[in-house]
Each structure stands twice: as structure tokens, then as C-alpha cells.
Structure 1
Amino acid sequence: MKILASLLVLCASLAWAQPVPPIPFENGKFLTLPASRDISRYLAGLDSLSPRARLVSLGTSAGGRPIEALLMSESPAFLRDQAAEEDKPTVMLLGSQHGNEPSSAEAIQQLARELVAGQHPALLDRLNLVLVAMANPDGRDLSTRHNANNDNTNIDYVALNAGETRLLVDALHRFDPDVVYDAHESGIWKRVLTREQGWMTDVEAQFDMGNNPNIDGPLRDYTEQRLLPALIERVSDAGLAAVRYRGEITDINQSVARGGLGITNLRNYAAMQGRVSILVENRLDNKDGRYPTPRNIAERVRKQHLSILTMLELVADESEQLVSLSRRARQQWQSGTGDGRTLWMGVSFEENRDEPEVSLPLVRFADGHRQLHRFANHDAIVTRTPIRLADAYAVTRERERMADWLARHHIAFETVREPRELEAQSLVVEQLLPQPKARPGVREKVRAEVRVEARQVTLGAGDLLVPMDQPLAPLAALMLDPRSANALYQEPGWQWLRPGEFPVFPVRLP
């Protein structure tokens, strides 16, 4: 019987390890990037080849192109039901949110091909994968950061103006990933730094994770103190020099910090939902360089593939603690402060007095000379305006529009059917302070100075109540409260900030 069982396992392995066609990028000898339709056809072919792959539609881009996810797993139940499984992380990988950063789309296809061909079998034993090779197929075909409507979907996670952003938010709830991996490229050539000052950045791989101070405290501590350092170490050990992300360096005289603190980007938005959220910025080589393939695209894909594969192996090794922390955070958020219910409305970067300078590598454009340059270090995270999470928020303006916006975020709310009298914290905007330059770390255009007054209010029929006893409560509060640097009212089309009583405010429920 043991011999028969072994033969059955061997036959299953041989059936799995079948010839798989090369990805379209390989067929083009790494010289031309395939169009989005060719990638969609290839992913559909992988679906038909393997019982461990299933291609599902997420929706359609602004330009009418399909946005799809290739699910990969050893679990027929996951492929069928698309639901999280106990003790097995679900990992969502997003490629090319910026269409002119294409290497991650190719690397994700390469990973999918290898998995269908039987390589890395332990990964599908230990992980359920959601592979979104093209998060922005319009940008892919148009060679632009934006979609066909000229929306920068990568910074749209508060307003949700773009259909692509809404599709990805829906996908977060549909697949409920424990880990979200957002793959980008960072150009080494900058207009001022290179053309005027003569230097390019010199880094291969930069990693960051959700860093907003309002992310669930234990989850944030784990990603910052354990997972991020381990990922950087493993990628470096694999031969790709990796560092912690320092943001875009565009001027030799600037200060540096980290990736932005705002929740308009996917990294912090997903982390505020209680997910481990990872950003990679691999090197996007200079257009004028001489490489074996155009703009070194084959090498860029290799580096993206290495970064992705190393991350997946680390997540598999960390699965027990990672799943426990992530799923608890999605059920019951707790802040990093002592009471577990405090939100910081104001967040920004300031000078790090313990480490006022950092040395970062640059390469001289003219002759390739490499040297370290010292930058002022402004990566200290500063918080202001603490509030305790209320019972609920009331919304008394543009209620249908707000209801639609809340539904897009999957935030639960109630429509008041008859007048209700409640205790409230009336928020009175006393002064608006336009920010001539956005505060480092957030896209705060106007800061509202707000006076809080306790009083009784009567909500009318049609007003909205957004309870704060739901999993998305901290995310909702940061977007709804006018005191927040991440508020919806910082976004175009939502400029509600005016002196006087604000139409959205905390209330106490009986």
C-alpha cells in the first residue's frame, strides 16, 4: 500500500509538472512589452492548464480593459469559494498600479508560470495566492502612470474616484487577504537631481510597510520590528541589495523620510483594514543607459521576481504569527496607545533628533562614480490631536452621496428613519489654515482648527449613522472626521471645510 501511495504521489507530481508555454514577454525575447490583451490571454491559458489556477474577473478599467486575478492554491475549496482558510495566509500581489512601471506584471506572470509548471510546490501548500498582474491595464497599454481617464489610482484610496481603485477595494473584501504586496519601480533619473545636479539614485530594492500610527498596534509593531527587517535581510542575502524605503530623492539638498503616512495609498489603506501591507520599489533604470534589453527590462523583471518570491517564502515561514495578528486586527482593532481606542487625527514626519542624518548611495551621471551622500533625516513620526473613538458618526449633508461613498468602502452605516435625539460632540470649524506645502508624510492641503462642544442634537429622517463598533471603524473615523489629516474633505470634489458647525460629527449611542 505504501508503494502504491508513493506511485500515486509521483504520478500526480508528474502530471503537475507539465510543459507550460513561456510568458508573452519571453516570446518577445525580452525586447518588447506585450499588450494587456496578450497577458489576459496568457493567464486564461494557465487557468486551462492547471487545476491549481483559476482566473476570475475583478471588473473593467476606464478604457474598457479587463482587470483580473489569477487565484493559485493547492486548495480546491479556496479556488471555488475564494474564502480565507484557517492557518493558511492569503496573499494578494498587485502589479503595475502605475502602468509605466511594468516589470512587476511580467514577474507575476513568471511566478504563475513556474507554479503551474510545478516549481516552488511548497508555496501553494502553505499559501493561497491572488495574483493581479495588471492593476492598471490602461496605463500598461498607454505607457502612463494613470488610467484612461487620467486618474492616478495609486493615491485614490480615500476618495475612490477611479473605477480601478474601487475594483481593488472590492477585491480586498472579496478575498480578505492577510498580506497585500504592492509592486512598483522607482526611477533613478530625476529632473533636478540628475539633469541639474548631476546625480542619480543608486538603490536596487526598497521596502516599506504600513506605517500610519493608527494601524492596529500589535500588527504594526510586528511588521515594523520583525517582518520588514527580515524581508530586507533575505532579499539582500539572495543577491539583491535591499534597504528600507526612503521615499523619492529628487534634490541633493532635500531631507528624506519614508513612504507617506497617508491612507490615500494602498499600503496604509490596506494596513488600516488589519492586513500586513508591503511596498516594494525596485530600480527603474535610466532611459539613456546601455543595457542588453531596452531600458534593462529583463534585469528589472528578474529583480522583481526575486523580491516577490523571497517575500512569499518569508510569509510562508511566518504564517502562524502573521495570520494570528492580521486576523485579530481585522476583527478587533486596538491602537498602539494604552487605552487601545485612541486615534491620532494629525500625523506627519519631522526631524529625527536621535539620527539627524543618514547616508544614501548616489551615482554621478557623467562618469558612474559612486559615493554616499548625507541627507537630513526627517523620518520621526509625529502625532497630534488625539481623540477617543466615538460610538458613531452622524452625517447630515449630501447624505445620498455619502451613503454611496461609504458603501464603496464597505463601511456599514444606518439611515435614520425618524427623528432621533442624541448626545453629540458638535465640531465647530473656527479657522482654516491652508498648507502652502503639504505636511511631510500626508496630503493635507488645509488644516481645520476645530472647537468641540457637547450638546444634544436631533437627527432627521435620511441622516446617516456610522457605528464605530465595526471592523473598519478606525479607517472610517480617519476619513470622516474634519480634524483628520486623512479626511475625505482634503480630496477634490469634497471641499466641505468651511468656518462654522461641521455636518459630520461624533455621537453617543444609547
Structure 2
Amino acid sequence: MTMTTLRTWAVIGLMTASLPVTALAQSGARTPYRQTPAVLAQLTDVPIPLDAPGLGADRTEFTSQAEMEAHLRGLKARVPGLYLGSLGQTSGGRDLPWLVFTAEGVQDLAAVRRLNRPIVWLMGQQHGNEPSGGEAMLALASALADGELAPLLDRITVVIVPRMNPDGAEAFTRRTGLDYDLNRDHLLATLPESRGVQAAMVLLPPDVVVDAHEYGASSPLQRFGRLNAADQTILDATHPGVPAGVTRLARTTFLPAMEARLHGSGLSSSVYLSGMPATGPLVTGGTSPGISRNYYGLTGAVSFLLESRNGGGREAYQRRVASHYLAAAGLLEAAAADGPRLRRTVATARRAMARSRAPLAVAYEPPVLPAVLPLMDSETGAPSAEAIELRDSRQLRVTETRRRPRGYLLAPEAGTAIAALEIKGIHVCAAAPQTAATEAFHVTRTEPITRQTREASTLTEALQVRLEARNVAVGADWIWVPMNQAGASVIAASLEPDSVGSHIHVGLVPVAEDGIAPVYRVVQRTPRTTGPC
């Protein structure tokens, strides 16, 4: 029996995949363009102290893994109360260090959580060829250890993962040692880097998350004949499952604080753009839940992407690092200024997600709005601006919804999804053998699953999903995932097949020959479990 009409959903973050898009974030290929001396003369160093190994005088190379680890050990020697640990190792055998900063020098992570202060996570260099974010994390670590930012630790706890992708940094490539884009794996949690971070976040749940990247200065050359001008581009979480109260706080408190810090040092800022189409509207960052900015927003945290302006190589490197440092410092100051309000907002959002009975948004689109793109002359560096139309994911319009289930029954074939949910701290239960009334997903693909499917953010892939009423025989090895928990938005994004980058969408959870996925929605009676749930 068909419970909803057949729907064909273009699986994209924004409805832009038909456009010839050039990504603004740095790709694995090195751009042949180099900025002129006149342009570089406009990109002077920022007169602030930054303690990081890659900023030494006469440096020609970026910070190595060994230099990063030595810098962190030096901080630990200077400030013994700094927590320095490991999130595990990459596929290439490199360590993933992380730091926890508290005023008291607490070393027990459970005790850190009991401080009841806002917990801010700062992460750098998810893409190995975008080094300034990682360098800024090392400078921020120095400033928090015994520098200008240390006084903030009376009011906030700060966690830093300076280099999320050590294998990519070593090879100076975007992708990890397993040849995947780490910034598409936060929902799937299949890579050692994302799994390490998410396991640690169960111990220290974030109230705020910052993810530092770089974008390409030369992207507008072909269309506008000029360069991007903004020193720093910023975007909060843009997915309809992000709590509205968290979004308001991000945009009314944290974004102004970051911009004020940047502008006070003479740096410019703008909204992050994920693509530069040859014609038509430009596009803000996508809505895919596997992107860290969106994923951590779905957990109820205030979540931001920062992207500094990269013209190539080490050009204007100190300025790039400084832009990340200043934006993050402004955010930390804002978190410290009103920590109780931040904590209340995040806690309220998580309770509301656990109690929500609202439908799930399964189709949505951004409006096209007028905007201004800051540019600079590619020869002289003279500033200019271009009036544009912007497909703005910050103001999504939901066009279709689906009834929210009580939870999901997962057959053993959905093991990868179960493992990912457990790593995230999602509560799952063993289902008792029974016959359960469910809604089954009938999935039809019109294109094969490819590597690009795994990393979808603006990928068009026709996927047909139909809900069918079905009584299923639940075995002893089935799992029940209830939706009455704070991770409800993450659960739905992970298990609904037409959620971009979900376990079914990318093929990690296989669909049977009859088109039925081993994930079943329960909308009426909660199934029996073998213990309390």
C-alpha cells in the first residue's frame, strides 16, 4: 500500500547542480594564477602577535606534523594544566592531537564537563591544502595557554583540534589518507578523523563549533575579471533541522562579535560562497548535513564555517592566519561575555528536539536575493563591488515535509548506520522479536552510486523514495532508535534515504533487490525492546 505519492528528489544541498560551478573552497589542484605585486601590497601583515611555528621569519614551508607536535608539547611544558591528548591516529599512522583549556587546569574530562561552562570547539585544516586555519589554531592555543585569551577561561572551556587532516596536510591535498573529503563525513562517521572527534564530543558536548578553512581568491576572474576581496568569509549552519533559537544566537551575537574583531584590525568579511557559476545567481554554502558546519548545527550547537582568502602558496600568509585568529577570538569573547545565555539556548534547543512532534523537512529551497560581492582589481588591487543575485541558504523555504516517526527499526544490514549513531552518543536499544507495523522505504535509483555520491553537497542524483505500509518481522538482532532524544535531527538526517549524504543515499546501507531499505519508520506504537529504552 502506498502511503505517499511517488516523489523524485534531486539530492543536492542547494538546487544548483545544473550550473557550471567552480568551488570557492580550495581544491586539490593548484591554481596557476598568482597575485601581482600591486595586489599583494594591499594584503599587508596584521600587527598582532601570533605564536605559531609556520609564521617564523623567512619561512618558506608550512608547519610540519613534527613542528605542530613540538609546539603543543612546548605549550604543555609552559602550562602543565593544559590537557594535551590524542583523538587516535589517521589511516597514515599520524597522531590527531587535541587540547582542552580550563582555568583550573583540569585533566579529568568528566570533571571538565562538571565545570558547567560553555564548551567551544575550534577545529582547523580539515582540508590538508588549506593551512592557515590549522596555523591559526596553534596561535589560538598559545594565546589561551598563557597569552591574551587566557583570562576568558574563567568563563568558558575551549577545545582545539589544530589539524583535523594530518595525512592531507603532509601531502598538501584536500582529501584524507583514505582519499575521502573529511568535510563530507560528519554524518557518516566512517573515517578515523571524524570518528575520533565525535567520540570526544560525547565526553565534552560542544555549545559552539568553529571549522576553519580557506577559499580561492581567483574564483571570480572568469566571470567578473576581478578577484575576491574579503579577508574572511563566514557562514553559520544552514539546514532546516537546525534549531531556530541557535540560529538567532549565531547571527545576532556571534557573527557581529567576529566581524567587529576583524574590522577593528582593518580586515574585511563577507558571507561564504560555495560556488561561482558562469551565469545566474551565486550560491552561499550548501545544506548537506554531512558538512561539519551543518552537522554540528543539527546537534544543537552554534556552528560556524570560517574561510580565509587564499591567493596561492604562502602569499599573505600571516594575514590569512590573522583573519582566522581574530574571528575565533571574537567568538570566544562573545561566548565568555554571556555564557549562561549560550548554555540556556543550546540546552533549550536540545530539549525541544527531543520533544518535537513537528514534521521532518524533506524538500526545501533557498530564495534568490540581491546582494553585493566585494571584489578587487586583479592588477592594481583597487577595491570594487558587484551587485549580484544570491541563492541564499540562510533563508530556506521548506517545500515538502514528512511525518515525524517515533523512531526507526534497523535490521542488521544497517550496521554501518548503527555504528555511526553509537559513536555520536545516540541512544539505541535492542528490539525484542515481534511483528511491527512500519513505514518501509522503497528506494529507486536512476543513476549508479559513485564516489561523488559519497561526497554530495551540490550533486544531482535522481533518487525516488516511496513509503509503503509494511508489517515486518523483527529479529533478535534488530535495533530500535527512538526519536525522543536530543540527537533526533541527526538521526533523521542519517536514516531518511533522501537526506543528502545519508547512509542509504551513499550506499553504505544497502537496498534489497525489491527496493526496500533495511530501515523502517515507526509512526504509531513504539516497539518492544529487551530492556529499558
Q: Shared topology, TM-score over 0.5?
A: yes
- Counterpart for residue 304 of structure 2: 278
- Report how far residue 78 of structure 1 moved: 6.1
The letter for the 1-side match of 2:364 is: V
3-state SS of paired residue (1:452): strand
CA RMSD of aligned residues (A): 3.0
Q: For 1:35-71, what per-residue CA distance to the aligned partner results, in whole angstroms no more than 9, with x for missing partners?
A: 1111112201211221331211111112111111121
Of the structure 1 ranges 34-43 and 407-416, higher mean CA displacement relative to structure 2 is found in: 407-416
Matched, 1:319 2:319: no
For 1:84, what is the secondary structure of its paired residue? helix
Specify whether residues 433 and 370 from structure 1 end up closer, same or farther in structure 2 by C-alpha distance, changes over 3 A only.
Answer: farther
Matched, 1:298 2:318: yes
Aligned residue runs from structure 1 range 323-338, under 5 A: 323-333=343-353
Is 1:343–1:387's contact at 8 Å kept on the other side of the alignment?
yes
Contact 2:354/2:486 (CA < 8 Å) preserved in 1?
no
Q: Pick from 164, 177, 186: which aligns with 2:193?
A: 164
Q: Distance in 1 between matches of 2:55 and 2:498?
A: 51
Higher RCO, 1 vs 2 (CA within 8 Å, ≥6 residues apart): 2
Do the aligned partners of 1:348 and 1:383 also contact (CA within 8 Å) in 2? yes
Partner of 1:219: 246
**1:210 aligns with one of 201, 217, 237:** 237
Q: Give the superposition deviation at 1:111.
A: 2.2
**Which of 385, 388, 396 is 2:403 aligned to?**
388
Name 1:488's counterpart in structure 2: 503
Q: Which runs of 5+ in 2 are unaligned?
A: 1-48, 528-533
Paired residues of 1:84 and 1:177 also in contact (CA < 8 A): no
Note the 1:319-358 alignment, pairs <5 A: 319-333=339-353, 341-349=358-366, 351-352=367-368, 355=369, 357-358=370-371
The answer to whether the 8 Å contact 2:51/2:142 transfers is yes
Of the structure 1 ranges 393-402 and 141-150, higher mean CA displacement relative to structure 2 is found in: 393-402
Q: Check if 1:56 corresponds to 2:85.
A: yes
State the distance in 2 between where 1:197 and 1:374 align.
11
Return the alpha-carbon distance in structure 1 between the equivalents of residues 273 and 174 of structure 2.
21
Q: What is the Cα deviation at residue 370 of structure 1?
A: 3.6
Name the amino acid aligned to 1:314.
A
TM-score by length of 2: 0.80
Output the amino acid matched with 1:111: L
Contact 2:417 2:494 in 1 (8 A): no
Q: TM-score, with normalisation over the residues of structure 1?
A: 0.83
- Find the aligned partners of 2:230 and 2:513 in 1 and give their Cα distance: 44
* Unmatched segments (≥5 aa) in structure 1: 1-19, 288-293
Distance 1:344 1:80 in 2: 36
SS at match of 2:273: coil
Aligned to 1:73: 102
Q: Which residue of structure 2 lines up, in the alignment, with residue 264 of structure 1?
A: 290
**Alpha-carbon distance in structure 2 between the residues aligned to 1:115 and 1:226:** 22
Question: Which one is further off, 39-48 or 371-380?
Answer: 371-380
In the alignment, which residue of structure 2 is the partner of 1:428?
442
C-alpha distance in 2 between matches for 1:385 and 1:83: 42
Q: Is the 8 A contact 1:432 1:498 kept in 2?
A: no
1:195 deviation in Å? 5.9
Which range moves more in the overlay, 456-465 or 267-276?
456-465
Q: 1:139–1:502: structure 2 CA closer, same or farther, 3 Å change rule?
A: closer
Residue 148 of structure 1 corresponds to: 177
Once the 2 structures are TM-superposed, how far is the Cα of residue 364 of structure 1 from its aligned partner?
Answer: 3.4
1:182 to 211, 216, 219: 211
Question: In percent, how many aligned pairs have the same letter?
Answer: 26
Paired position in structure 2 for 1:405:
420
Deviation at 1:361, TM superposition (A): 2.0
Q: 1:313 to 1:21 in 2, by over 3 A?
A: closer
Deviation at 1:409, TM superposition (A): 3.4
Judged with a 3 Å threshold, the aligned counterparts in structure 2 of structure 1 residues 220 and 116 are, in CA distance, closer, same or farther, namely closer
Supply the distance in 2 between the matched residues of 1:61 and 1:114 (Cα, whole angstroms).
27
User: How many equivalent pairs are there?
Assistant: 471
Cα distance in 2 for partners of 1:448, 1:269 equals: 22
Q: Deviations over 1:400-419 (max 9, x none)?
A: 444333333333222335x2
2:386 alignment partner in structure 1: 373
Cα displacement string for residues 208-266 of structure 1 (whole angstroms, at most 9, x for unaligned residues): 111211112322232234433443344324422122223343x4524223221111111
Query: Whole-Å Cα distance in 2 between the matches of residues 444 and 498 of structure 1?
Result: 25
Residues 1:459 and 1:144: Cα distance change in structure 2 (over 3 Å): same
Query: 1:98 matched to which residue of 2?
Result: 127
Q: Kindly provide the amino acid, as one letter, of the partner of residue 265 in structure 1.
A: I
Q: Secondary structure at the match of 2:486?
A: coil
Residue deviations 1:318-343 (CA, integer Å, cap 9, x gap): 322111111233344169xxx75322
Taking the aligned partners of 1:374 and 1:119, their CA distance within structure 2 comes to 39
- With over 3 angstroms needed to count, the CA separation of the structure-2 counterparts of 1:348 and 1:82, relative to structure 1, is farther
Show the counterpart of 2:14: none
Q: C-alpha displacement at 1:26, in angstroms?
A: 4.3
The one-letter code sitting in structure 1 at the alignment partner of 2:348 is R
Partner Cα distance (1:177, 1:426) in 2? 34
What code does the residue aligned with 1:412 have? H
* Structure 1 position 115, deviation (Å): 3.1
> How far 1:495 moved relative to its partner?
5.8
Query: Which deviates more, 163-172 or 480-489?
Result: 480-489
